[in-house]
Amino acid sequence: MSDIIQIPNQRQGKPLGKAYELMLNSIGTEEFGSTVRECLMSVAGGIRRVYLFEATGPDTSTLQYFSCEPRLIELLPAYSQSYIRMDPVRDAYSAAPAAGDMALLRIRPCDIPTPGFRRRFFEDCGIVERLSIIQRGHEAWRVINIARHASNGCFSNVEIDALVELASLALPMLPLNRRDKLAGVQLTVAQLEDRFASRYGGLTARERQVCARAAIGMSVEATALDLGVAKTSVLTYRRRAYGRLKVTSPYELCALVTH
């Protein structure tokens, strides 16, 4: 059975000043996620995967950054559509109910009851343990997922303490990074549509329209009104486009056409 541990608010450790400064200076840039990953690697070696995301509910999350094996990238759309409902991280949100609360989830392959999810995301890839460090914000839960390969063994208690301390610095930056990245997008919808057309010829005209609006942060409802189509149609176009582009969030979508 997986371990879900509440992290007391009064938890204090020795400062990680250099790591904090590096992460703070990278907010809103393309280097933010990789900077967080490098800081995590500096306190616990052998990390195979890192995911940074925000979740507004058990089945609704937005990925800001990921680093994983190339073969796993192809599974991300399937995760968003199906496997997310099988992920034990959903059970850990309740351990951080109020703003500022933090929780830690330790997952090993034997803790996952769903054979397909366990095999495709853990056993076939040799993942021996995954940590989910969760912080409740005012608008969403902020999460760092960190996975380790069997060749490096499970995380030690000393490493977990250091990772939790580092996460307590990084997690409040996720909403700031999201807002700064979106604020930095100066391209018009028409310009974004042209970029999607020139870079990704496999998209239909309607899919390009939907993607351009998602990239500037337009909601599904607003997109439906703007294009004069049903909300369900927007969701269908977005799902198809995300599958073709192998992205799982508006932030990944934005990164495809804003540089």
Distance CA 113, CA 246 (A): 27
Using the structure block, give the residue that is written with the tokens 């990164």. Answer: 255
User: Can you tell me the mean pLDDT for 139-147?
Assistant: 95
Q: Which of 117, 115, 113, 93 is nearest to 104 (CA)?
A: 93
Helix (H) or strand (E) holding 65: strand 60-67
Give 63's pLDDT tier (boundaries 50, 70, 90).
confident
Tell me which amino acid residue 16 is: L
Q: What pLDDT score does 14 carry?
A: 53
Per cent of the chain over pLDDT 90 is 58
Can you identify the CATH homologous superfamily of domain 3-179? Answer: GAF domain (3.30.450.40)
User: Can you tell me the mean pLDDT for 172-199?
Assistant: 82
Tell me which amino acid residue 202 is: G
| Structural domain boundaries in the chain | 3-179, 185-257
Q: What pLDDT score does 156 carry?
A: 96
User: Can you tell me the mean pLDDT for 40-56?
Assistant: 93
Distance CA 247, CA 236 (A): 15
Higher pLDDT, 237 or 252: 237
User: Can you tell me the mean pLDDT for 139-157?
Assistant: 95
Distance of CA 152 to the CA centre of its chain: 23
Q: What pLDDT score does 10 carry?
A: 46
Contact 45, 176 (CB under 8 A): no
Q: Is 4 left (phi over 0), alpha (psi -120 to 50) or beta?
A: beta
Q: Domain 185-257, what fold?
A: Arc Repressor Mutant, subunit A (1.10.10)
Which residues fall within 8 angstroms of residue 47, CB to CB, at 6 or more apart?
A: 37, 40, 41, 146, 147, 148
Which residues fall within 8 angstroms of residue 179, CB to CB, at 6 or more apart?
A: 28
Residue 79 has pLDDT above 60, yes or no: yes
Residue 31 has pLDDT above 50, yes or no: yes
- Does the pTM surpass 0.75? The reply is no
